[in-house]
Structure 1
């Protein structure tokens, strides 16, 4: 089966490159959609089932007129026309009047690079966009990233007010925070155009257009450019797993058929997500999706992609209500091998265009080989997410008192991965705080968070929440395979949940924002959590933590609630016991001299200061020659030691 999959990839590659390179095959955006060339707009569209297409806009009084009709290319399924710039100057709104056998309807061009919504009518239109070219100040990031420390963010909810924040605000106010926090990679949600704000950007309608609700394309370019100047890479969520079911502003029935871009019948609909499922067996669809990635890499100089919903792509059952408990689940008839071929091709293309680009698979199934090199039979992603970990922490915080946590099970989940496939771990992302749920810190602190986050307020609920928040995140980072992710604001224990404006909340943006004033207020405890997170990421980066993939367990006791492990030159020691501190606690280590480099109980992190800072520990052999150090380990505290 693996051999057959490799053969399918090679066959598809040969077919796509029969007239040139893979990069040339990924070029539909250069021949379709609105393109400005030498004083003329060239308009093209792939629409095999169309019988007529008209360009409509203010130039035609929004009527279908013969002089604005597209012509079918000879022997082709593509239509095209041209008109002088003065007929459609910069800023002009337009769309297609599409006709097919038995029907007609308005459509947005599939390759439109600028789509805007009328704030009064909510109607979407394409827009002729020809501003002064953006002048880039910084080059593309070409150095291979050592290990991604990812800051997941959403531009619209990055402001403190109830409104939708824009690219300018994010560039000026949020990028500096990310840099100071110690992260090296920015992962942005919701960048391609999507009509429903509350979808987080996962119901895409226009794949080549930057979401206009956040500002013009040039503002996004400035965001990426500024981030590069700070040494930050920028990756975006790429939603090639499904598309919005919208027909006028989406691709659902672009030429009147429901199966131009998507599978026909039930296979073309994702009932759980109320969306359409791409047909990766069609060459036209594959070219469209490949071109989409090339476009974002070249036009906006993004540094890669987090591919959303990979599980839904690679199984006919979409991963719905499946547990994936046996390897047979990865090789049976339910696997969509055409999707795997596409993913292999797109990874090849991305890394041909930019060898230092980052690709990450969001897959909950554990399909072997997704993050394994193509030349060895893998799909070619650079990383995959360890998606079981946030579910583990959420389940524990919801259902099990921390006094009863099973450390053996926690350790297994933290380290259960294939060493050959680089994984990125995280304790919580945006998913854990969606409406109906809560951020981890808010779940632990409860109502006390509203009244007892003052720096001088010794509240027991807050004390527990702060201690466990630091320990959970540290142990997740320290055991991560190849990288770490944090969602915007969670590094300082952001309260409450995320809920975008919708009918059910009277279209309020109160919970679709970030309260940066909390972490900026030195009279509150939020800065303590931010300081710990900053030193934690600095330790992982400066200590080159992920260069040592092996994590060696030194000791664990489910009864005493402590564990210790070694990674490279660092030793991590955790005491999860709620009340019992341990004096002169023996920890088996490699022989050497150790210094204390991070202490979660430090007063600068809102702890009790029970451990003397800048200590050194010397290992001593026992009667059998095994070496130990002896440490004071307060309750709900984590220590990190480094061997000299």
Structure 2
């Protein structure tokens, strides 16, 4: 199916004094659910009409009987400036002369049929007041970009055979300014500091937890009210664009966490917008989320689809975002998600699948990949729903990548075991290879695992102080050895002891301790090796890029595997010892003769390890082992992983 863009008309039509940005084509596409550039037409737009500056407004409220614009320009009077209904479209519009960029406003929406009258923020505003204030701000999206080089080569950088190592960040708590009342860094301050750090650490991308405007800071952005507005807590829309632009110029991709699964019930937001359940289902068995106490979008409504896909287009188009991580996909796919029997409505066939949400996700992926072919979409989907990250033409949902939540939970469960007990849980390490190539997976160690009493990553590790660090280095190394893209939440790379707290900065002072500094250096070296060794990323989604050497040594809790690139010369061996007992003269089968150079060893002294290793590598011998024609005789350091490259 081909989706038509809106007419590129950004100057208003004036007919007999009536001002409009909306054409008949706009109305048709909007009402059929195929208008994906609504941010150019709805909301508030500073314009010039007959030489007079002012602002054009347009808002969808089909069941309202009157809609007014109120704000600082008219003393916030409820009935100050009335908008006019545009035909049968359900859109109210109007031009207010003299109202310019920076003006504050809300819509006063009246539904006389239900006796409803309320002030609403503009769903399409590009800027909102700094919370807890909830007014919208007349703004524009004009910005001069300097990232042409990045945009031209982005499709290659983000190809499925390229390395992708993502640093997940909550902007308000990554780094603060304690000497100034613990204030946030601004977008412009973050630009240089974040870029410098990500380059130092070797990550390819930063993933921003939702920066879409949200009234409750403690929701971390997942309770979104402003689907077209970067939060004003850190600056203006142009400040946000500057940050993205700067990161691109430094060779860093930017992924945005995007939440089309639900929205908060705050009175000024989308909920019960025009005196009816406009954006959400009326029946709470379909329209209210029991876990998050929020409203669920009505994906079957054409205009809602236009709204949500236009939001995705806005971030990709106006803000040059490189990818969208779609939150809570499982909650969209299942009608009975987190509901007991009798609390949900089956589909027309009596099943639990949400056909309207499925169609929306497929349409979303088709549209964004068609119009922004260099981007990636990433699904946070926690079930075994088939073909989430598979193309539409084979029946998939069309995502580029899917988080492997099963790997995250199994691996953390295994790593939390005392080493003496790990042999009884060995299958938790190896199980993912039964399904690893069914989807295009990313392995997440995300914020979800260091909140709500779960503790920090290093806090989950067993053993004494030294062993905790060794275990965490081993966990990170095992993740990078696996066939998949990578994601790590901020703070994990420095071994933060405390659980993540959105109200304070990461504990950067920990890096004064050499064990924390060693862990950070280990992650940086992992990233460097991952990016420079084709064997560790080229065939992440192809079974030909992975072989177990031995996954059955449960008694000693040792596993060994080989990663391969497209070229036969690109081969990397990874060997993990999940116990604190060193293994001497441990023979490992290898697929080829030659010298196997030790690339990385998590037990090296530079990382805080004991310094045990293999003196730079080992020569393969013509002794068959593990079904391989050659083998190497290795020393396996305690609680460590070592990578070897065939030279």
Residue matched to 1:528: 518
The answer as to whether partners of 1:44 and 1:80 remain within 8 angstroms in 2 is yes
Q: Within 5 A, what are the aligned runs for 1:99-178?
A: 99-100=110-111, 101=113, 102-117=115-130, 122-130=132-140, 133-139=142-148, 141=151, 142-144=154-156, 145=158, 146-160=162-176, 161=178, 162-178=182-198
The answer as to whether partners of 2:456 and 2:497 remain within 8 angstroms in 1 is yes
Question: 1:590 Cα deviation (Å)?
Answer: 0.5
Deviates more, 1:225-234 or 1:25-34: 25-34
Question: 1:393 Cα deviation (Å)?
Answer: 3.5
Residue matched to 1:367: 385
Question: 1:19 Cα deviation (Å)?
Answer: 6.6
Deviates more, 1:304-313 or 1:606-615: 606-615
Residues 1:92 and 2:87 are matched in the alignment: no
Q: 1:641 aligns with which of 622, 641, 644?
A: 644
Change in CA separation of 1:263 and 1:240 when aligned onto 2, cut-off 3 Å: farther
Q: Within 5 A, what are the aligned runs for 1:210-249?
A: 210-248=230-268
Question: 1:168 Cα deviation (Å)?
Answer: 2.4
Q: Within 5 A, what are the aligned runs for 1:435-474?
A: 435-444=452-461, 461-474=464-477
The answer as to whether partners of 1:394 and 1:432 remain within 8 angstroms in 2 is no
Q: Is the partner of 2:105 in helix, strand or coil?
A: strand
Question: Gapped runs of 5+ residues in structure 2?
Answer: 6-24, 342-346, 565-570
| Distance in 2 of aligned mates of 1:103 and 1:295 | 31
Q: Is the partner of 2:254 in helix, strand or coil?
A: strand
The answer as to whether partners of 1:414 and 1:479 remain within 8 angstroms in 2 is no
Q: Within 5 A, what are the aligned runs for 1:292-307?
A: 292-307=311-326
Residues 1:403 and 2:414 are matched in the alignment: no
Question: Gapped runs of 5+ residues in structure 1?
Answer: 1-8, 323-328, 446-459, 501-508
Question: 1:159 Cα deviation (Å)?
Answer: 1.3
Residue matched to 1:308: 327
Q: Is the partner of 1:640 in helix, strand or coil?
A: strand
Residues 1:486 and 2:502 are matched in the alignment: no
| Distance in 2 of aligned mates of 1:466 and 1:43 | 57
Deviates more, 1:44-53 or 1:28-37: 28-37
The answer as to whether partners of 2:62 and 2:91 remain within 8 angstroms in 1 is yes
Residue matched to 1:37: 47
Question: 1:625 Cα deviation (Å)?
Answer: 7.9
Question: 1:24 Cα deviation (Å)?
Answer: 6.6
Change in CA separation of 1:262 and 1:247 when aligned onto 2, cut-off 3 Å: farther
Change in CA separation of 1:410 and 1:45 when aligned onto 2, cut-off 3 Å: same
Q: 1:53 aligns with which of 41, 47, 67?
A: 67
Question: 1:264 Cα deviation (Å)?
Answer: 3.3
Deviates more, 1:163-172 or 1:381-390: 163-172
Q: Is the partner of 2:537 in helix, strand or coil?
A: helix
Change in CA separation of 1:189 and 1:430 when aligned onto 2, cut-off 3 Å: same
- CA deviation vs aligned residue, 1:435-472 (integer Å, no higher than 9, x gap): 41211112337xxxxxxxxxxxxxx7121011110111
Question: 1:175 Cα deviation (Å)?
Answer: 2.0
Residue matched to 1:274: 293
Residues 1:628 and 2:631 are matched in the alignment: yes
Q: Is the partner of 2:461 in helix, strand or coil?
A: helix
Question: 1:92 Cα deviation (Å)?
Answer: 1.4
- CA deviation vs aligned residue, 1:281-330 (integer Å, no higher than 9, x gap): 000100001111111111111111000000001110125689xxxxxx9x
Residue matched to 2:497: 495
| Distance in 1 of aligned mates of 2:201 and 2:350 | 44
Residue matched to 1:429: 446
Q: Is the partner of 1:156 in helix, strand or coil?
A: helix
| Aligned alpha-carbon RMSD (Å) | 2.6
Question: 1:539 Cα deviation (Å)?
Answer: 1.4
Change in CA separation of 1:380 and 1:332 when aligned onto 2, cut-off 3 Å: farther
Residue matched to 1:325: none
Q: Is the partner of 2:496 in helix, strand or coil?
A: coil
Change in CA separation of 1:135 and 1:340 when aligned onto 2, cut-off 3 Å: same
| Distance in 1 of aligned mates of 2:284 and 2:34 | 32
Q: Is the partner of 1:525 in helix, strand or coil?
A: helix
Q: Is the partner of 1:598 in helix, strand or coil?
A: strand
Residues 1:537 and 2:547 are matched in the alignment: no
Deviates more, 1:278-287 or 1:490-499: 490-499
The answer as to whether partners of 1:415 and 1:479 remain within 8 angstroms in 2 is no
| Distance in 1 of aligned mates of 2:339 and 2:474 | 33
- CA deviation vs aligned residue, 1:191-241 (integer Å, no higher than 9, x gap): 100011011110001111111112111111011001101111101011001
Q: Is the partner of 1:620 in helix, strand or coil?
A: coil
| Distance in 2 of aligned mates of 1:171 and 1:23 | 36
The answer as to whether partners of 2:54 and 2:96 remain within 8 angstroms in 1 is yes
Question: 1:407 Cα deviation (Å)?
Answer: 5.5
Residue matched to 1:27: 37
The answer as to whether partners of 2:203 and 2:527 remain within 8 angstroms in 1 is yes
Alignment length (residue pairs): 589
| Distance in 2 of aligned mates of 1:620 and 1:252 | 70
- CA deviation vs aligned residue, 1:70-90 (integer Å, no higher than 9, x gap): 010122211000112x2x232
Question: 1:332 Cα deviation (Å)?
Answer: 7.1
Residue matched to 2:21: none
| Distance in 1 of aligned mates of 2:397 and 2:460 | 38
Change in CA separation of 1:616 and 1:191 when aligned onto 2, cut-off 3 Å: same
| Distance in 1 of aligned mates of 2:309 and 2:398 | 15
Residues 1:387 and 2:390 are matched in the alignment: no
Question: 1:418 Cα deviation (Å)?
Answer: 4.8
Compute the TM-score of the two structures, normalised by the length of structure 1.
0.86
Question: 1:401 Cα deviation (Å)?
Answer: 1.5
Q: Is the partner of 1:208 in helix, strand or coil?
A: strand
Change in CA separation of 1:17 and 1:613 when aligned onto 2, cut-off 3 Å: farther
| Distance in 2 of aligned mates of 1:11 and 1:297 | 17
